[in-house]
Structure formats: C-alpha cells, structure tokens
Amino acid sequence: MAGGSFAPAGVTKERAQQYQGRVTSFVVVACIIAAIGGSIFGYDIGISGGVTSMDDFLHKFFPAILYRKRHTKESNYCKYNNHGLAAFTSSLYLAGLVASLAASPVTRKFGRRLSIIVGGISFLIGATLNAAAANLTMLLFGRIMLGVGIGFGNQAVPLYLSEMAPAHLRGGLNMMFQLATTLGIFTANMINYGTEKIRPWGWRLSLGLAAVPALLMTVGGVLLPETPNSLIERGLEIKGREVLEKVRGTCNVTAEFQDMIDASELANSIKHPFRNILEKRNRPQLVMAIFMPTFQILTGINSILFYAPVLFQSMGFGGNASLYSSVVTGAVLALSTLISIATVDRWGRRVLLISGGIQMVVCQITVSIILGLKFKDMNDLSKGYSILVVVVICLFVMAFGWSWGPLGWTVPSEIFPLETRSTGQSITVAVNLFFTFIIAQSFLFLLCSFKFGIFLFFAGWITIMTIFVYAFLPETKGIPIEEMTLLWRKHWFWKRIMPEEDESSRQTNLTDMGKSAAVVSEPDC
C-alpha cells in the first residue's frame, strides 16, 4: 500500500563498482544549458538591491524613502527601513515558495524539462511587466511572476543536473547551477553600475534585461533531453536506456539502468509522496531538506546580496561607491564557486561546508566589531575602515561561494530516492524561499534594530549549522544517486533512526531484480 510499512525496498544492492561510462560532451552541454536556470535566480538577487538604491526608481515608486534619504537626519542603519520596499524584494520569494510546491507533481508526472520551460516562460512574463511597470501594483505583479519562474526553475534544475551527471562528478556538474547563479548576480551588479547613470529610465533596463536569461532557459528547456530517471519513472524504459547510453557514451549501462528500474518500481508504488516522505525511513533526507536550505539563508548572504548597495550606502559609501562595492562582491562570489567545482568531488562535501562555516563566522564577527567600534549612527566610516569592511565582506562571500552557496543546493538534490525526489526538492526550494522571504522582508528592520549586532546574529547561526554538518551529514562524495539510501544506514546517528528493512520485502525485491536483469541485459552495440 502506498505510504505503508510494506513498501518495496527499492535499491538494495550496491552496484556502483559496475557503473561504466565517461563524461561525454552531450552531458556537459545538457548540464550547462540546464544550469542557465540558476542565472535567473542570481540575476534577480543581484538586480534588486541596485535598483532599490537608484533615486529614479525610488522617486517613481517610493518617494517617501527618497525624501528621507535626502532630507531627514536619522540613524545610518535606518535610512531604508520601509515595509513597501521590503515587500518589493520579498514578494518574489513568497510567490516562489507556493510555485515550488505546485512544481513537484508537474516535475514528477511530466518530467524535469517541462518545469524548466514553465519556469522560463513565467520569468519572461515577470521581466516584461517589471520593465514596463507604471505603478506599484504592476511592479509587484511582475515580481510575483518572477517568483513563479524561480519556484519552477529551482525545483527542476538541480534535480536535472543530479540525474544527468555521473556519480563521480555529480558534485562539480551540479554546481553549474550555483555558478550560473553567481554569474547572474555579478552580471546584475555590472548592469546596475551602468544603468544607474541612465536617467530616468535606467532601472527599467536593469529589470527588463532579466528576460535574457529567462529566454535562454526556455529555449534550453525545449532543446534538452529528458533525464533517464524521469523517463523510466514514467514507464518509458526503452527511451530512458537510449538517453542513458548517449549521456554515458557506452552501451554497457546495465548496472546503472537496473538501479533506475528498481528505484522507479518503488517510485511508482508511492501514490502520496508528500505523505510518504514523512515516514521514518525517509527521516534523514527530510531533515536535510529542511535544515540545509534554512542554514544556507541564515548565513546572512542574501541580506548582503539583496541589499549590498543599500547596506554600503548605510555605511556611508556614496551611490557609485556602493554599487562598485557590490560589483566586487558579486565577482568574488562567482570566482569562489569555481573553487568548489574543482574540489567538491575530490575533497568531499563535509570539508567544504565545515571550513567555509568557520571562515564565515570569523568574517561576520570581524565586521560587527569594526562597525561597533568605528561606525556611529550619524557618521560615516573612514576610508581605511570602509575598505577593510569591503575586504572582510568579500572574504565572507568567498567562503560562502565555495561552501554553503553551491552545496546548500547540491546535497539536498542528490540524497533522495526516486520515489520522493521531486517532493524532497520541492520542500528544499520551499524552505529556501520561505526563509529568503523572511530575511528579505525583515532585514531592513533588523538592521535598524540590531545595528552592528545583525552580523553577530548571523554568526551565531553559522556556528550552529557548522556543528550540525559535522555531527549529522554523512559524506556523499562518489555515491551513486540511486544508492544514496544505503549511506544513511551506515551513519552513526541515522542508523538508529532508520527502520530495519523488512526481510520479505527485501527477498521479493531481490527476486524481481533478478527477473529484471534478465530482461535488461546488455544489448549488442
């Protein structure tokens, strides 16, 4: 019975050593096209902060903030504290949260490609509305459509990358999503730096250019092949094997294909994946799906990326200087992601997450001390200390870029069995967007209330999440995605939680595997 305790055991045999194949140009190109979906997420993160610091944009939609900025003497930390401005930034992520949950059944029943295409079209509509916005209602509706695009894209793209990549390079290829995100942020910062000089419609150009990555994502989704896992799950075994042979560059794919067949049999027996994911045997993955994206946002990175120009202006930087500083942080984030791509499948996930967490804690505490001692409510930072703050923030962004930035998406996308994979990814995206919404909506208020203590607030969370990874996250490097469930049974903590495997189900599953193996023996190449 679906969701019951007698569900089939799924993949019960480790065949990783039998996997064959190589990294083909086909899979690399497919992953690059799919990863473009990350650029729409990054572009929006980078573009929002720059646009909200432009006087022409504020004059059009938030004149009260512009008046306060020019004429009112108040705390440096409170210049931009406005609920409407926060709603402009955060409305996208609330819409994305809802859309990501709707994307789960679409991704499971109709494939990863369709969700990518839907995400691209929605983002294209949102970019058009934002560029043409005549009032705040139109602007917010455009943001909501952008959120729908991000909800579908973030749900489908990491899944697509994890399923297409070979196990030994899955981490690096999956991080193409994060690399595209960071390049989107950097590109947005560069565009803001240029359009800020175009009066009075430069902000429209910044918002409208989001249509470019959206169009690339839509066209890429049309051209992409479906993943073998999704095809097999939907009963298209022959087509699934053809795609698998093409992306692995060999006909000798029986071991990997058999794992997919076994996983799909269990997946198709599950009628209520959201109910099934709550079962005890899925507890470790569910915990990671909730805590990894939560901790990723509670590093405070989005606060810096959303509001980098606003944050730097609050610290006394001029308009151009604040945008220039945000360009620098965007470039550092993009370059640091390359470090993670080069090392994640060699050093593993845990090393990068723990070392990155330690560096981020040190940087947050350092910024807090500098601002607490040298930055007063009505004064600007000196030039020397301003440069030091930018350097330390860049070190923080660098640590995030090669640790929690890419791995906050990679780890949840690779740990779920096929029957709960789309659901698990939806939960990951929904949690990520929920906390992104919370931080985006509350950061300006928290900055006004906590002042320099906001950085200590985030440092505390980074400390907690670093300890969490050390204690509870097993190393997933090199583990085939369909055999990931076996990993939890070997972990010191999770093996106590995982239920004992039902022997009758195991024997039945092994018998079925033997029958299936006879059917899917190697074809003549």
Instruction: Note the pLDDT tens digit of each residue in 101-124.
Output: 888 889 888 999 999 999 999 999
**Phi and psi torsions of 175, nearest 5°:** -75, -5
Assess if residue 476 is contained within a domain: yes
Give residue 149's pLDDT: 93
User: What would the pLDDT profile of 376-424 be if each residue is shown by its tens digit?
Assistant: 655 566 777 777 888 898 899 999 999 998 899 889 988 888 778 878 8
Give residue 515's pLDDT: 45
User: Among 124-133, 139-148, 295-304, which is the least confidently predicted range?
Assistant: 295-304
Give residue 505's pLDDT: 44
Looking at the predicted structure, is the pLDDT value of residue 145 above 90?
A: yes
Q: In terms of pLDDT, which residue wins out, 3 or 165? A: 165
Residues 6+ apart with CB under 8 A from 452: 367, 368, 371, 372, 375
Rounded to whole angstroms, how far apart are CA atoms 110 and 312? 45
Assess if residue 522 is contained within a domain: no
What SS3 state is found at 209? coil
Give residue 458's pLDDT: 93
Q: In terms of pLDDT, which residue wins out, 367 or 514? A: 367
The secondary element (H helix, E strand) that includes residue 505 is helix 503-519
Rounded to whole angstroms, how far apart are CA atoms 289 and 286? 5
CATH code, 116: 1.20.1250.20
DSSP 260: H
Assess if residue 422 is contained within a domain: yes
Give residue 63's pLDDT: 85
Assess if residue 341 is contained within a domain: yes
Assess if residue 3 is contained within a domain: no
User: Nearest CA to 417 among 509, 515, 324?
Assistant: 509
Rounded to whole angstroms, how far apart are CA atoms 398 and 360? 9
Give residue 75's pLDDT: 62
Q: Determine contact, residues 378/77, Cβ cutoff 8 Å.
A: no
Place 18 in a pLDDT band, splitting at 50, 70 and 90: low
DSSP string, 139-191: HHHHHHHHHHHHHHHHHHHHHHHHHHS-GGGHHHHHTHHHHHHHHHHHHHHHH
Angle at 37 between CA 323 and CA 112, to 5 degrees: 160
Give residue 399's pLDDT: 95
Average pLDDT over residues 439-464: 86
Looking at the predicted structure, is the pLDDT value of residue 313 above 60?
A: yes
Torsion of CA 62, 64, 69, 72, to 10 degrees: -170
User: Among 158-162, 335-339, 427-431, which is the least confidently predicted range?
Assistant: 158-162
Q: What amino acid is encoded at 414 in this protein? A: E
**Phi and psi torsions of 500, nearest 5°:** -65, 140
Domain that holds residue 43: 18-499
* pTM of this structure: 0.73
Q: How far apart are the first and last CA of the chain?
A: 40
- Rounded to the nearest 5 percent, the helix, strand and coil shares of the chain are 80, 0, 20
User: What would the pLDDT profile of 59-91 be if each residue is shown by its tens digit?
Assistant: 888 887 777 766 655 566 666 666 677 777 778
Give residue 520's pLDDT: 46
User: What would the pLDDT profile of 386-399 be if each residue is shown by its tens digit?
Assistant: 778 888 988 999 99
Q: Determine contact, residues 308/322, Cβ cutoff 8 Å.
A: yes
Give residue 102's pLDDT: 87
Residue with tokens 């799950």: 233
DSSP 384: H
Average pLDDT over residues 134-160: 90
Assess if residue 11 is contained within a domain: no
Tell me the average pLDDT of the chain. Answer: 81
What SS3 state is found at 14? coil
Looking at the predicted structure, is the pLDDT value of residue 373 above 80?
A: yes
Looking at the predicted structure, is the pLDDT value of residue 316 above 70?
A: no
Looking at the predicted structure, is the pLDDT value of residue 9 above 60?
A: no
User: What would the pLDDT profile of 201-223 be if each residue is shown by its tens digit?
Assistant: 999 999 999 999 899 889 988 88
Looking at the predicted structure, is the pLDDT value of residue 503 above 50?
A: no
**What is the tally of structural domains in the chain?**
1
Looking at the predicted structure, is the pLDDT value of residue 93 above 70?
A: yes
Average pLDDT over residues 295-321: 72
Assess if residue 200 is contained within a domain: yes
Looking at the predicted structure, is the pLDDT value of residue 244 above 80?
A: yes
Looking at the predicted structure, is the pLDDT value of residue 439 above 50?
A: yes
What SS3 state is found at 354? helix
Rounded to whole angstroms, how far apart are CA atoms 291 and 289? 6
Assess if residue 514 is contained within a domain: no
Rounded to whole angstroms, how far apart are CA atoms 360 and 378? 28
Give residue 381's pLDDT: 66
